[in-house]
Amino acid sequence: MPEVSRFFGIVIRLHYADHNPPHFHAALEGWTAKVDSERLS
């Protein structure tokens, strides 16, 4: 998965051909999260 951003130790990854709904993955020190873009609006 391509890395989009890295700040304060948080790595944001986004895969353009991934499944719906649109989302990104965030990781920090062994913790991971999948964040749906529909819930951000």
In tens digits, the chain (41 residues) has pLDDT values of 688 899 999 999 987 777 777 788 999 999 999 888 776 65
Range of the domain at 16: 3-40
One-letter amino acid of 41: S
Q: Nearest to residue 23, comparing CAs of 41, 3, 37?
A: 37
In total, how many domains does the chain have? 1
Q: Tell me, what's the pLDDT at 39?
A: 65
21: Cβ–Cβ under 8 A, 6 or more apart, which residues? 36, 37, 38
Angle at 34 between CA 24 and CA 37, to 5 degrees: 50
Supply the pTM of this predicted model.
Answer: 0.68
- Are 3 and 24 spatial neighbours (Cβ–Cβ below 8 Å)? no
Q: Tell me, what's the pLDDT at 7?
A: 94
